[in-house]
Amino acid sequence: MSMRRRIALAAGAALCIGLLAVPALGGGAVSIRAVWMEYDARYNTFWQQLKKDFEAANPGITVDTVIVPWSEGHDRLVTWIAGNQAPDLAIVGTRWILEFNKMGVVEPVDTFMPKAFTHKFIGPALEARIGGRLYGVPVALSARALYYRSDLIKTPPRTWQEMLAVAQRVAKPGSLYGIGVSGKKFAELTEYVYYLYGNGGDFFVTNPDGSYGRCRVNDAAGVEALQFMTDLVNKYKVTEPNVAENDRGTLQDLFLAGKLAMIETGPWFGGMIQERAKSLPFAVAPMPHNQGKPQHTLLVTDSIIVFKSAKHKDAVAKFLEFAYNDRHRLEFDKDFGMLPVVKTVARNAYFQTPFYRPFIEQLPTAKPWPLVAEWSKVEDVMWDAVTSALLRAKSPRQALTDACREIDQARGVK
């Protein structure tokens, strides 16, 4: 027994040592490393195909592709950067750029990309333009709209008041809920931002020089927005029950299961409906706003940033040019359910459909997230405030006042 055991141990050790070998990277003289966020597990083929196509057209350059789920993305990047293992390029939420900039690791794209490249993009997509420099290349653009059941709702609501009336009309407690509201912390501050912007409100006071000052969600507009949301849940009860257990993902699933009449989300949802609930009758309308207030929806971009530590910036430039030709861009937007960022792609017939029209129409007036370096903290505090109000732990005014105090303290703003 001991002899056999010794042999087993030795074999195990030998196996271990044999596997010590660092897996060799592929051929090419030059290698660039890219980190892509996973929009949906199915669509990893896009990046793999892009890599193959690029390597075929550019022998001598290999693209080391790493794909990370969005939920892990921020933390993975932080770990890699902190461990001096930053990749050459990575997809990031544009709102992270300021934070990474504070670490001093981002190379502005216009340093090494030709002007013609940056002129490709439509105006609203260039969110990563900070202080005149372009820090990230827009890779995914989306806006938010109202999806509704076209069999139950003939004319989409344009205002909050109309939306409430519609929700009350179609709601059947237990089997169909009027509209979805989520109370579980999620990657984005859904849905409060829709109501905030739709009431003419904002997160911060804008200083004359363009920078962001005091937090202002506790002003009349912000409080009214949160009050309306909590009323939907607690007073009128037209939302799904137990909001704190749902995030936007679950709400989307509820809509697909036929339990929600209305939901506010982005353009990718159209593709999801096609795939998982083809026969579900739906239509899209611009995001509702408060009566008497202007209409603003949320605009979100993700960007590709290049790290200062990238050794072969010319190879990176070549890759970006390749990835951003019209064909690949159209394919990306189709696959991932995004809006076009490149001017020429936006003119493609694919986007001139009734589905895309409400999204594209809203772009000129759409507002992005405020770009502040402490956005992670701000978003976290805001989520707690919203959930506190939804769960009736605090009144909306109290919740938002406490939030503003905490946010101003974190940002060092008086």
> Residue 36 in contact with residue 302, Cβ under 8 Å?
no
Which of residues 199 and 388 has its CB atom nearest to other proteins in the complex?
A: 388
Q: Which of 185, 237, 313, 318 binds other proteins (CB under 8 A)?
A: 185
Q: Which of 218, 230, 301, 388 binds other proteins (CB under 8 A)?
A: 388
The reply to whether 391 sits near other proteins by the rule CB under 8 A is: yes
The reply to whether 356 sits near other proteins by the rule CB under 8 A is: no
> Residue 48 in contact with residue 267, Cβ under 8 Å?
no
Least distance to other proteins, CB of residue 147, Å: 13
The reply to whether 310 sits near other proteins by the rule CB under 8 A is: no
The reply to whether 81 sits near other proteins by the rule CB under 8 A is: yes
Matching residue, tokens 């932080």: 78
Matching residue, tokens 């363009």: 210
Stretch of residues binding other proteins (CB under 8 A), selected from 100-108, 115-123, 228-236, 293-301? 100-108
The reply to whether 311 sits near other proteins by the rule CB under 8 A is: no
The reply to whether 56 sits near other proteins by the rule CB under 8 A is: no
The reply to whether 376 sits near other proteins by the rule CB under 8 A is: yes
Q: Which of 240, 262, 303, 362 binds other proteins (CB under 8 A)?
A: 240
DSSP 273-293: HHHH-TT--EEEEPPPB-TTS
Matching residue, tokens 């794209």: 109
> Residue 102 in contact with residue 110, Cβ under 8 Å?
no
> What's the burial of 81, exposed, middle or buried (CB within 10 Å: 0-12/13-18/19+)?
middle
Torsion of CA 167, 170, 174, 179, to 10 degrees: -30
104: region left, alpha or beta (phi > 0 left; psi from -120 to 50 alpha): left
Please list the residues that pair with 137 across neighbouring strands: 304
The reply to whether 67 sits near other proteins by the rule CB under 8 A is: yes
Residue 33 burial (CB count, 10 A): 21
Q: Which of 49, 79, 309, 344 binds other proteins (CB under 8 A)?
A: 79
The reply to whether 314 sits near other proteins by the rule CB under 8 A is: no
Q: Which of 63, 153, 232, 243 binds other proteins (CB under 8 A)?
A: 243
Least distance to other proteins, CB of residue 303, Å: 16
DSSP, collapsed to helix, strand or coil, labels residue 142 as strand
Instruction: Please work out the total of residues on this chain that contact other proteins, with binding judged by CB under 8 A.
Output: 73
CA angle 365, 369, 372 (to 5 degrees): 135
> Residue 369 in contact with residue 363, Cβ under 8 Å?
no
Length of the chain: 414
Stretch of residues binding other proteins (CB under 8 A), selected from 54-62, 65-73, 288-296, 341-349? 65-73
Q: Which of 29, 60, 71, 111 binds other proteins (CB under 8 A)?
A: 71
Least distance to other proteins, CB of residue 209, Å: 23
Which of residues 49 and 71 has its CB atom nearest to other proteins in the complex?
A: 71
> Residue 95 in contact with residue 108, Cβ under 8 Å?
no
The reply to whether 149 sits near other proteins by the rule CB under 8 A is: no
The reply to whether 363 sits near other proteins by the rule CB under 8 A is: no
Instruction: Report 253-272 residues binding other proteins (CB under 8 A).
Output: 253-254, 256-259, 268-269, 272
The reply to whether 103 sits near other proteins by the rule CB under 8 A is: yes
The reply to whether 276 sits near other proteins by the rule CB under 8 A is: yes
> Residue 344 in contact with residue 327, Cβ under 8 Å?
no
Handedness of CA 119, 299, 333, 282 (dihedral sign): negative
Instruction: Report 196-225 residues binding other proteins (CB under 8 A).
Output: none
Q: Which of 31, 46, 70, 236 binds other proteins (CB under 8 A)?
A: 70
